[in-house]
Amino acid sequence: MVTDGRGVMKLGQMVRLSRRTILLAGSAWAFAGVGECNVSTQTTARPSLPIPPELRADAAGSIKLEAQTGTMRFLGDRETATYGVNGPYLGPALRLRRGETVTVQVTNSVPENITMHWHGLIIPGAADGGPHQVIAPGKSWRTQLSIDQPAATLWFHPHYYPSTAQEVIKGLAGLLIVDDEEVGRLPLPSRWGVDDIPLIIQDRRFTPDGQFFDRMNAIAVTNGYVGDIALVNGARYPEARTARGWIRLRILNGSNARGYKLSVSDNRSFYVIASDGGLLASPVELKELPIHAGERFEMLIDGRDGRAFDVVTLPVAQDIMRLPPFDGPLPLVTIRPDGADGTGRLPSSLLVLPALPRQLPPLSQELVMNMFRDTRGMMPLKRARLPEMIQSGKTDPAVVARVVNLIVSDSALSEAEQLSSNGVNRKPFSLERIDFSAARNKGLRWRISEGPDLMPHPVHIHGCQFRIISRNGKPPEPERAGWKDVAPISNGGVSEILVRFPYSASRDDPYMAHCHILEHEDSGMMAQFTVP
């Protein structure tokens, strides 16, 4: 990995998985003849899937991150002003091992306050990087992370209140992968960028001059960010050449608000092996997988036949998220498993997950997601006849134009209006108010629900990995029955979870519980709590 003297990676360090770099990278590589590729997708020049470089602690146990400004050409010709971590857009994939203690230094070289939060990491409040741990421009924040949790695909992103949404849109986010002995003993594909492929899925919308659209208006604080371009690792419909064999995809829905319904173009099955907080008990065979904002899944796909396939997203239930190009199956990335033979395979069982106790603890906390501005955000969509269009199943350009006009032409809310738009337990978030306290190191049963709004709310809790006990009274889907840090609810839904907080979080450094639709979070749908 290329680093300068301070261990900070230079701009433009994203490794591109091209045939050339693979050939240069390893002598073991050989390629199947061109004729053997199944050309189900066009062969015109396509961007290669950028693979975020892995970043491990140096010999002294330290990791240096720098949030910086940059530019990217997402649209081909126009330059977009971006933020990134140790690079122009997104960041490296931090790799930490269970049992390891590392010192992380985060330097803020962007012109606004940020924080850096380790989403899914089980650590004390003081190391969590929540909204209280502000890093001013030009300043650094040092913290120690002691890793003691199972192998998992986590991520990091800023958590500055109230501009997390805009900072993530510009590009501040990256993967954080925890490794451990148990996962190391399994025969899973694990060669980074070869048969272990990270996919960070995000949607974006651009202004006519090529900049990110990121306005916090009434549509945004109610519906969340509605992009019209899908990016994978910062590239538009890229292509990855991988080993021929079982391919592991580590998928992060890093979108501000959008949910996806993932599927494979030739309808082959895939096998979910891990959720937010680590491995499932055994692989779950699926053809479609809904993934909500902030969630992660790892899946294995059989690419032993060497034939190319697309990872596709299918239309979801939320009306506004079905505007084109999300009104039909949309290919996100092409995988061409036509390299040298892969070595990983699909085990029949993965891990012994602790069973949920038969005797559940009493309910100790309710979290109700509230929307106070529902009507102002939803009525215009009704007037534009969006629900009718979705019901009819036919995309009408006139309706689409009216809705897009609403999304982009409504002016930004004042800060006071923004911060009072949403809430948890009937109160908009306040940095000054601790909402509740949770017992330490005790199994707790919490209930998560929403008001009458029927919106999807992927609810995330800091300082823990939890288990979903039930969703709408039923057991969770098998792919959500393992460790989770996001509990999705929608359509008036209710989830119960079993959660435990091993570390403390003080009044000065409380944990957060919030909707991971970042526009909801930034407009009040967040609560903070202490753990003694």
Interface positions with Cu ion (CB under 5 A): 119, 457, 462, 515, 517, 520
Counting runs of H as helices and runs of E as strands, what totals does the chain give? 9, 33
**Which residue's CB is nearer to ligand C2O, number 87 or number 130?**
130
Q: How far is CA 145 from the centre of its chain?
A: 21
CB atoms closer than 10 angstroms to residue 287: 11
Choice from 514, 519, 524, 531 touching ligand C2O (CB under 6 A)? 514
**Which residue, 176 or 400, has its beta carbon nearer to ligand C2O?**
176
What is the number of residues in the chain? 532
The alpha-helical segments, DSSP class H, found in 358-396 are 374-383, 386-392
Binder to ligand C2O among 460, 471, 484, 520 (CB under 6 A)?
Answer: 460
Q: How far is the CB of 117 from Cu ion (least distance, A)?
A: 5
Closest CA to 246 of 267, 265, 271, 263: 271
Residue 517 binds what, of Cu ion, ligand C2O, none (CB under 5 to 8 Å, by partner type)?
Cu ion
Round to whole Å and give the CA distance between 324 and 391: 15
Q: Which is nearer to ligand C2O, 159 or 457 (CB)?
A: 159
Which one of 30-38, 133-141, 449-457, 508-516 is the stretch in contact with ligand C2O (CB under 6 A)?
508-516
Q: Which two tokens stand for residue 152?
A: 């998992």
Query: Are 473 and 513 contacting, i.e. CB atoms less than 8 angstroms apart?
Result: no
Least distance CB 120 / ligand C2O (angstroms): 8
Strand partners, 409: none
* By CB under 6 A, residue 296 contacts ligand C2O: no
Output 444 or 515, the one with its CB closest to Cu ion: 515
CA 447: distance to chain centroid? 23
Query: Which of the stretches 7-15, 424-432, 467-475, 509-517 binds ligand C2O when contact is defined by CB under 6 A?
Result: 509-517
Rounded Cα gap, residues 158 and 10, in angstroms: 21
Q: Which residue from 90, 230, 312, 512 is in contact with ligand C2O, where contact means CB under 6 A?
A: 512
Euclidean distance between the first and the last CA atom of the chain, given in angstroms as a whole number: 41
Does position 336 interact with ligand C2O (CB under 6 A)? The reply is no
Q: Which of 159/250 has CB closer to ligand C2O?
A: 159
The CB-of-78 to ligand C2O minimum distance in angstroms stands at 30
Q: Hey, what are 310's tokens? A: 């697309």
Describe the crossing of helices 397-409 and 374-383 by its angle, rounded to 10 degrees: 150
Where in 152-191 is the site for ligand C2O (CB under 6 A)?
Answer: 157, 159
Rounded Cα distance, 461 and 479, in Å: 19
Residue 457 interface partner, choices ligand C2O, Cu ion, none, CB cut-off 5-8 Å depending on type: Cu ion
Q: What, of ligand C2O, Cu ion, none, does residue 159 touch, CB below 5 to 8 Å by kind?
A: ligand C2O
Residues 77-136 that bind ligand C2O (CB under 6 A): 117, 119
- Residue 294 sits in the site that holds ligand C2O (CB under 6 A): yes
Nearer to ligand C2O, 117 or 307 (CB): 117
Under a CB-based contact definition with an 8 Å cutoff, are residues 86 and 52 in contact?
no
Q: How many residues bind ligand C2O (CB under 6 A)?
A: 10
What would the DSSP string read from start to end of 433-480? ---EE--SSS-EEEEEEE-TT---EEEEESS--BEEEEETTBPPPGGG
By CB under 6 A, name the binding residues for ligand C2O. 117, 119, 157, 159, 294, 460, 462, 512, 514, 516
